[in-house]
């Protein structure tokens, strides 16, 4: 379970349907993965991530009295946790925006990226060029990462950014993206500093960072980068991927590892992530 600061960054600019505003909100020390489900007024449980996305969508829809906003969802692949969040977003928007514009999530515009960066990037570019789509929701760690590589010609929401600076996302001094139509949620502004704080808290000299292969690909880890960041501080880092079982994961750890830092696990069933 990962607890981080959560940052919401974005700038909304005029398009044919949308209005101009700035988004800059920050909620400290929220557990964002696995999705923390909190009861709402109806007793139903919602995640922090879905609440943030719904807030941005309602902000976009607010000035539109009538009409329809069509939202495309691009996911990394089939994921129990992400499916739950997608369902929450759709249900919350319909409940919280009565009497306003119709917000639709067409099944034909909910796209499974099949855990492929190439497929996901192609799908993002296609929905951005589709005139019937008003807002694009990059609902996955790869999809969110790829948003930094494309031009957001319409509002794009990337709620799974791990480290904004590390992944190349723009951020201004006042905490917004500073880029027209770009909105993202980041669990960290400085992942290396968080790793250093983790090492200090655990008094560890060697830390294993464990994540799924897709996440270690999305984050630009490299041996040179790790050496530059942590060797001068006397911290040794082992980067490895999670195994099919706990035993397999443990077997990948070096014998001298003092502490283990798990990155979010998007592909694993939720019941395997809560230990």
Both 171 and 64 in one domain: the answer is yes
The domain boundary, picked from 188, 217, 247, lies at 188
Number of independent structural domains in the chain: 2
Both 50 and 9 in one domain: the answer is yes
Both 179 and 213 in one domain: the answer is no
Domain with residue 125: its CATH number is 3.40.50
Q: 113-147: per-residue pLDDT in tens?
A: 999 999 999 999 999 999 999 999 999 989 999 99
Strand order in the sheet with 259-262: 236-241, 206-211, 259-262
Both 77 and 38 in one domain: the answer is yes
How far CA 12 is from CA of 15, 63, 156, 183, in Å, comes to: 9, 12, 10, 8
Both 234 and 111 in one domain: the answer is no
Both 131 and 252 in one domain: the answer is no
Both 43 and 162 in one domain: the answer is yes
Q: Is 274 exposed, middle or buried (0-12, 13-18, 19+ CB in 10 A)?
A: exposed
Pairing, β 2-12 against β 182-188: antiparallel
Give the pLDDT score at 91: 84
Give the pLDDT score at 257: 95
Residues 122, 125, 131, 132, Cα dihedral to 10° = 60
Give the pLDDT score at 270: 64
The domain boundary, picked from 153, 168, 188, lies at 188
Both 59 and 183 in one domain: the answer is yes
Both 265 and 151 in one domain: the answer is no
The model carries a pTM of 0.76
Give the pLDDT score at 98: 63
Give the pLDDT score at 5: 40
Give the pLDDT score at 11: 40
List alpha helices for 62-162, DSSP H: 80-96, 117-129, 141-147
According to DSSP, residue 171 is labeled -
Both 101 and 79 in one domain: the answer is yes
> Tokens for 32?
């964002």
Range of the domain at 267: 191-272
> Tokens for 189?
């502004």
CA 202 – CA 235 distance, rounded (Å): 12
Both 131 and 7 in one domain: the answer is yes
Q: 51-62: per-residue pLDDT in tens?
A: 778 888 877 776
The domain boundary, picked from 123, 154, 188, lies at 188
136, 124 Cβ separation under 8 angstroms: yes
Per residue of the chain (275 residues), give pLDDT as tens. Answer: 333 344 445 443 333 333 223 333 332 233 334 444 444 444 455 567 787 788 888 777 766 656 788 999 999 998 888 888 898 888 888 777 666 678 899 999 999 999 999 999 999 999 999 999 999 999 998 999 999 999 999 999 999 888 888 788 888 888 788 898 999 988 776 778 888 899 999 999 999 988 888 766 666 666 777 888 888 888 999 988 888 888 898 999 999 999 998 877 777 666 655 54
- Residues 6 or more apart whose CB falls under 8 angstroms from that of 160 comprise 49, 138, 139, 140, 141, 143, 144, 145, 185, 264
Both 151 and 250 in one domain: the answer is no
């Amino acid at each position: 379970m990962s607890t981080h600061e959560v940052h919401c960054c974005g700038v909304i600019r005029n398009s044919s349907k949308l209005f101009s505003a700035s988004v800059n909100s920050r909620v400290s020390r929220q557990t964002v993965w696995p999705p923390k489900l909190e009861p709402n007024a109806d007793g139903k449980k919602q995640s922090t991530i879905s609440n943030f996305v719904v807030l941005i969508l309602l902000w976009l829809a607010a000035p539109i009295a009538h009409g329809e906003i069509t939202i495309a969802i691009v996911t990394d692949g089939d994921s129990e946790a992400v499916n739950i969040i997608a369902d929450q977003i759709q249900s919350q928007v319909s409940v919280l925006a009565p009497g306003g514009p119709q917000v639709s999530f067409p099944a034909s515009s909910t796209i499974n990226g099949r855990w492929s960066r190439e497929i996901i990037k192609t799908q993002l570019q296609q929905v951005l060029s589709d005139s019937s789509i008003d807002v694009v929701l990059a609902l996955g760690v790869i999809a969110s990462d790829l948003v930094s590589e494309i031009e957001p010609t319409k509002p794009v929401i990337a709620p799974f950014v791990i480290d904004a600076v590390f992944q190349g996302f723009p951020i201004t001094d006042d905490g917004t993206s500073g880029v027209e139509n770009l909105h993202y949620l980041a669990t960290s502004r400085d992942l290396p500093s968080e790793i250093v704080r983790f090492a200090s808290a655990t008094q560890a000299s060697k830390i294993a960072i464990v994540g799924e292969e897709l996440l270690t690909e999305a984050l630009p880890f490299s041996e040179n980068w790790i050496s530059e960041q942590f060797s001068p501080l006397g911290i040794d880092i082992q980067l490895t991927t999670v195994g099919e079982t706990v035993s397999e994961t443990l077997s990948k750890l070096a014998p001298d590892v003092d502490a283990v830092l798990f990155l979010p696990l998007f592909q694993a069933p939720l019941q395997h992530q809560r230990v």
